[in-house]
Amino acid sequence: MNYDCLSILKWTEAQLKYTHDVSLQEATPQELHEALGQAVMMAISDNWNNSKHTRMHSRKAYYISAEYLIGRLVYSNMYNMGILDEMKQLFAERGVDLAILEDIEDAALGNGGLGRLAACFLDSAASTNIPLSGYGLRYRFGLFKQKFDQNGSQVEAADDWAKYGDPWSYRRYNHTVKVSFPDHTVLAVPYDVPVIGYGTKNVGTLRLWQCEAEEELDFGAFNDQDYLRALTQKNKAEDITRVLYPNDSTWEGKRLRIKQQYVLSSASLQDMIRTYKSAHGKDLSHFADFYAVQLNDTHPAMSIPELIRLLMLEGMNFEQSFNIAQKTFSYTNHTVMGEALEKWNLELMASVVPEIVDIILRIDAKLKSEHPELFIVRDNTAHMANLSVYVGTYVNGVAEIHSQILKDDVFHQWYNAFPERFQNKTNGVTPRRWMGLCNPELTQMIKYRIGGDFLNDLDKIGKLKPMIDDDMVRQFNAIKHQKKEQLCQVLQKQEGISLNPDFIFDVQVKRLHEYKRQLLNALSIMDIYFRLKNGELPDFQPTVYLFGAKSAPGYQRAKAVIRYINRIAFLINNDPAVSDKLKVIFVQNYNCSYAEHIIPAADISEQISPAGTEASGTGNMKLMLNGAVTLGTLDGANVEIVKEAGMENNYIFGATVQQINECRDSYYPRGIYDADYHLRRAIDTLVDSTVPTDDNQRDLYHALLDGTHWHKADHYFLLLDYASYLDAKLRANRDYADRLNFGRKCLMNVASGAKFSSDRTIRQYAEEIWHIEPTKY
């Protein structure tokens, strides 16, 4: 805190001078970013060092995650340091607009919710002085960049995010560790990223491992003029952290993925054992007294057998090592969908990590001797979630309803055996990035009204509630309009589209997945379009439906949905008959930075998964905090959002978990299709010639009405929920006409957001799972 902005500016100028020989005004955005980053790293270095030393001897927690979706760091780092405004000012005085750093690419070392949650947690731990560090992988290529071609199809491009350098990490070669496979040994080289707390001197650390070869060049091969062979070891090592797997919520068993997971697990645990020894000496029997490890889903679950293996190498027996591992680890589950749960074939695994398989088999034998009804290994397959429940202290879901489903369904037998292990930790988001940084206008308004900073104590935001009056609503509406104008400028620049900021902004931004039901949204838009053309909706308030989503590159159904939405967008946006009422935009390359522009501008937040499928959602929280009303099902954290903000201030529709379970066996979507003319007309556009169609769109049609060999018809209940969805959607649209009343609902959501700060979440992990205390400064 109290960073000296003028020094940072001077250092930036000096860096630019001696690395590129340019002035502040001449520098490219990339050069400026690099120099400013280095200057900021200098400014925080004492605090960072101090934070490491202060926590050296106390009990700490580690978050191990295969994904960290940290986004762009330059603004958020300066924001958390409390210097962003002053730095902008200083640069502006010298003729440089810091907005040029909008050109800097995101660090997207994650797919979606799970990766962004990890980033929010680190921000919150740093800001609340909780001694938590992160371990992850430094992928050379992050999540692919997305474009749409002429057909409206998603096209992927490599995301070489660090091609201009990465000023936000230090390479710490001296802490390199070795990780061995049967056919080669690789180096895992750590890169440390500072995690700057807001309103504190505390700076946490995210340590990302990058794989490199022990010998970069095989001189024998080189001398034989076999240049390709001379580089094989280098490539083989670097392949491991070359690319982030772009799947979200579907599991794929790949050799390279096991290698990634093992490097993450082994390198992190070797590193923890090294730091343990330097702080507490050689006797590792107290390991679990000083270290708590949180597994972000099962992606790092090989850490469990790896810790056991490492402790046995240090001379402990299996039982002792097992007990330490059991006390050390806890596991967070992020999905209930069977196809997403990691299950590794044992032969495949044994060909990559044979010693890990041996230990898993020993753990499985122990389990079966104690609990014959349970298993980790079955049909030659290791179930990583079961391993994580068995060799762990706690297992948690990420929203109340999700944690309940874990107990009732997914881990029912495990719950019977170990009821005390099951917990809930409802997700949260960092209010610094998702309010303070992306919506300074709203933040200012609230600060002024409740008198003082609330971004590191979001409970204070509740003070707004009794103060909401027409005057505040008008001010809120004006701010919302301003955020829409800003978004319109971004959309003009990024997509070449002009929009009217007076429209309702109805937003669905999240990964593209069948269970998230972007297709349901699209079908309702087609229905509304036809009705508008027929003059059936005379009072319809002009609305833009905005989508942002990436599909896994091999997920044909999801890609067909993207194509379909782009095609209806083309149809609707070019139809003069509705041009003053309806627009559809699918933005390209939706990412963290795009989210920071879209979310503050949203009026309506679409959270429309069938009840019981979305573990929590976190976009729903970001949108709520920025004053969008939720148009959603009783799923994931939506349940808690409307509990806090009131059903009457949101638009809830659709079947409940119970209702879905009750109707599942007799569900007959074709009956609904036959009985509902409007719905039928919308669904038919998947196969008739209203928009260009193709085999994949026909496949969507048949999946809805006929089913496939692996799923019954309409597996995600679009038709079941359609009528109540359209009803809620049109109700929200009608309500918007009363601007004061609608604005009041929005503000009630803002004022009810306290629970959804990840500061609350991380404190609960610290108290109820890790049993650690904030560091005192």
Residue from 311, 599, 615, 625 in contact with ligand 26Q (CB under 6 A): 615
114 binds ligand 26Q (CB under 6 A): yes
Answer yes or no: 286 catalytic: no
Q: How far apart are CA 545 and CA 152, in angstroms?
A: 16
Q: Is 247 in the site for ligand 26Q (CB under 6 A)?
A: yes
* Residue 102 beta carbon to ligand 26Q: minimum distance, rounded to whole angstroms: 26
Does 640 bind ligand 26Q (CB under 6 A)? Our answer is: no
Q: Would residue 511 show up in a list of annotated catalytic residues for this protein?
A: yes
Contact residue for ligand 26Q among 38, 47, 76, 111 (CB under 6 A)? 111
- Counting residues that bind ligand 26Q (by CB under 6 A) gives 24
* CA gap 701, 695 in Å, rounded: 10
User: What are the CA-CA distances from residue 618 to residues 484, 511, 595, 644, 750 (Å)?
Assistant: 21, 12, 12, 15, 15
510 catalytic? Reply is yes
112 binds ligand 26Q (CB under 6 A): yes
The correct pick among 136, 167, 300, 617 for binding ligand 26Q (CB under 6 A) is: 617
User: Considering the rule CB under 6 A, would residue 259 count as an interface residue with ligand 26Q?
Assistant: no
Interface with ligand 26Q, residue 398, by CB under 6 A: yes
Identify the residue among 241, 249, 443, 477 touching ligand 26Q (CB under 6 A): 249
Write the Ramachandran bin of 22: left for phi over 0, alpha for psi from -120 to 50, otherwise beta. beta
For Cα atoms 422, 270, 184, give the angle at the middle one, nearest 5 degrees: 115
d(CA 161, CA 140): 7
* 334 given a catalytic annotation: yes
618 catalytic residue (yes or no): yes
Q: Rounded to whole angstroms, what are the CA distances from 706 to 522, 563, 695, 714? A: 20, 21, 15, 8
CB of 759 to ligand 26Q, least distance (A): 16
624 scored as a contact of ligand 26Q (CB under 6 A)? no
Cα(372)–Cα(387) distance, integer angstroms: 15
**In this structure, are residues 670 and 705 in contact, taking their beta carbons and an 8 Å threshold?**
yes
Q: Which of 124, 427, 543, 566 forms a contact with ligand 26Q (CB under 6 A)? A: 427
Angle between helices 232-240 and 255-280 (to 10 degrees): 80
Nearest CB to ligand 26Q, comparing residues 616 and 733? 616
Interface with ligand 26Q by CB under 6 A: which range of 25-33, 371-379, 441-449, 613-621?
Answer: 613-621
Binding mask 216-245 for ligand 26Q (x = CB under 6 A): -----------------------------x
- Reference 547, options 493, 500, 604, 502; nearest CA is 604
Binding residue (CB under 6 A) for ligand 26Q from 257, 309, 480, 729: 257
Shortest spacing between CB 641 and ligand 26Q, in angstroms: 12
**Angstrom distance (rounded) from CA 422 to CA 400:** 12
Q: Which of residues 264-293 bind ligand 26Q (CB under 6 A)?
A: none
Q: Report the residue number, 77 or 268, with the smaller CB distance to ligand 26Q.
A: 268
CA–CA separation, 298 and 407 (whole Å)? 17
Catalytic residue of the set 140, 309, 511, 597: 511
Q: Would you count residue 340 as binding ligand 26Q (CB under 6 A)?
A: yes
Tell whether residue 428 is a contact of ligand 26Q (CB under 6 A). no
State yes or no: residue 616 binds ligand 26Q (CB under 6 A). yes
Q: How far is CA 130 from the centre of its chain?
A: 21
**248 vs 596, which CB is nearer to ligand 26Q?**
248
d(CA 514, CA 516): 5
User: Distance between CA 306 and CA 303 in Å, rounded?
Assistant: 5
Residue 521: CB minimum distance to ligand 26Q, A = 17
Sign of the alpha-carbon dihedral angle for 595, 109, 119, 34:
negative
DSSP 225: T
From 383, 516, 517, 745, the catalytic residue: 516
Placement of tokens 């695994």 in the chain: 349
Interface residues toward ligand 26Q, by CB under 6 A: 111-114, 117, 245, 247-249, 251-252, 257, 334-335, 340, 342, 398, 427, 614-618, 636
Which residues are identified as catalytic?
334, 510-511, 516, 618, 622
